[in-house]
Amino acid sequence: MGRGGKVIAMDTSTVRNTFLEFFRERGHTIVPASSLIPDDPTLLFTNSGMVQFKPYFEGVKVPPYARAASVQKIMRAGGKHNDLEEVGKTSRHFTFFEMLGNFSFGDYFKQDACLWAWELLTQGFGFDPSRFWATIYIDDDEVASVWEHEVGLSVSRIIRLTRDEGNFWDMGVAGPCGYNSELLYDRGPGFGPKYSGSGEPPGERYIEVWNLVFMQFLQNDACEVIGDLPAKNVDTGMGFERLVMLLQDVPTIFDIDTMVRLIGVASEIIGGRYGQNDKHDVSLRVMAEHSRAISFLIADGVLPSNEGRGYVLRRLVRRAARFARKAGFDKPFLTTLTEVVVDTFGEAYPELVRNAGLIDKVVRREEVQFDTTLRQGLVMLESEIQAVKDKGDRQLSGETIFKLHDTYGFPLEIATEIAGEEGLSVDSAQFESHMKVQRERARAARKTGPGGSRSMGADEVLSQFSKTEFVGYEKQTVESQVAALLNGTQDVSTLTEGSEGVVVLDTTAFYPEGGGQIGDIGEISTAAGRFEVTDTRWGIPGVIVHKGRVTAGEINISDVASASVSAEHRQGVHQSHTATHIIHWALRDVLGEHARQQGSLVEPGRLRFDFS
Catalog residues that contact ligand SER under the rule CB under 6 A: 48-50, 101, 169, 211, 213, 235-237
User: How many angstroms separate the CA atoms of 501 and 506, rounded?
Assistant: 17
User: 388 and 395 in contact (C-beta within 8 Å)?
Assistant: yes
Give the chain's count of helices (H) and strands (E). Answer: 16, 24
| Minimum gap (Å) between residue 236 Cβ and ligand SER | 5
Cite the DSSP H helix spans in 248-307. 257-270, 278-299
Cβ nearer to ligand SER, comparing 132 with 168: 168
In terms of CB distance, is 53 or 410 closer to ligand SER? 53
Least CB distance from residue 48 to ligand SER, whole Å? 3
Q: Residue 140 contacts by C-beta under 8 Å, 6 or more apart in sequence?
A: 160, 167, 179, 181, 214
The three-state secondary structure class of 531 is strand
Least Cβ distance, residue 235 to ligand SER (angstroms): 5
Nearer to ligand SER, 169 or 179 (CB): 169
Q: Which amino acid is at 532?
A: E
Name the minimum Å distance from CB 29 to ligand SER.
17
Q: Are strands 395-396 and 225-228 parallel, antiparallel or unpaired?
A: unpaired
Q: What is the 3-state secondary structure (H, E, C) of 349-403?
A: CHHHHHCHHHHHHHHHHHHHHHHHHHHHHHHHHHHHHHHHHHCCCCEECHHHHHH
**99 close to 69: Cβ distance less than 8 angstroms:** no
Q: Which amino acid is at 224?
A: E
- The answer to whether 70 and 49 have CB atoms below 8 angstroms apart is yes
Minimal distance in Å, beta carbon 17 to ligand SER?
Answer: 20
How many Å apart are CA 462 and CA 448, to the nearest integer? 14
Nearer to ligand SER among residue 52 and residue 580 (C-beta): 52
Per-position DSSP letters for 110-124, written without gaps between them: HHHHHHHHHHIIIII
Q: For the stretch 244-269, what's the b/e string if a residue is b when 16 or more beta carbons lie within 10 angstroms of its beta carbon?
A: bbbbbebeebbbbebbeebbebbbeb
Task: Return the number of the residue (237 or 304) whose C-beta is nearest ligand SER.
Answer: 237
Residue number closest to ligand SER, CB atom: 237
How far apart CA 319 and CA 574 sit, in angstroms, is: 43
Closer to ligand SER by CB, 165 or 330: give it: 165
Q: Which is nearer to ligand SER, 101 or 501 (CB)?
A: 101
Nearer of residues 5 and 203 to ligand SER, judged by Cβ: 203
Provide, rounded to whole angstroms, the least separation between the CB of residue 476 and ligand SER.
46
Shortest spacing between CB 602 and ligand SER, in angstroms: 40
CB of 283 to ligand SER, least distance (A): 29
Spatial separation of the C-alpha atoms in residues 543 and 470, rounded to whole Å: 10
Q: Which is nearer to ligand SER, 103 or 510 (CB)?
A: 103
Reduced to 3 states, what is the DSSP secondary structure of residue 50?
coil
Residue count of the chain, please give it: 612
Q: Which is nearer to ligand SER, 34 or 373 (CB)?
A: 34
C-alpha to C-alpha distance for 401 and 393, rounded to whole angstroms: 16
Pick the closest to residue 580 from 558, 554, 601 (CA basis). 601
Q: Please tell me what DSSP assigns to residue 514.
A: B
Contact 298, 356 (CB under 8 A): no
CB 92, min distance to ligand SER, A: 15
Q: Which is nearer to ligand SER, 67 or 314 (CB)?
A: 67
CB of 214 to ligand SER, least distance (A): 10
Distance, CA of 501 to CA of 511 (rounded, Å): 18
Q: How far is the CB of 47 from ligand SER (least distance, A)?
A: 7
Nearer to ligand SER, 235 or 367 (CB): 235
Cα 563 to Cα 239: distance, rounded to the nearest angstrom: 60
Nearer to ligand SER, 48 or 576 (CB): 48
Among positive and negative, which fits the CA dihedral 40, 170, 242, 278? positive
CB of 463 to ligand SER, least distance (A): 51
Nearest approach in angstroms of CB 64 to ligand SER is 20
Least Å distance, CB 213 to ligand SER, is: 5
Identify any residues that bridge with 206 across adjacent strands, giving them in sequence order. Answer: 186
Q: Please, what is the minimum distance in Å from the beta carbon of residue 172 to ligand SER?
A: 11
Measured from the CB atom, the residue of 167 and 283 that comes closer to ligand SER is 167
At 526 the three-state DSSP class reads strand
Is residue 572 within 8 A of residue 607, CB to CB? The reply is no
Q: Which is nearer to ligand SER, 70 or 267 (CB)?
A: 70
Concatenated DSSP letters of 169-185: E--SSSEEEEEEEEEEE
CA atoms lying within 13 Å on the CB side of residue 73: 22
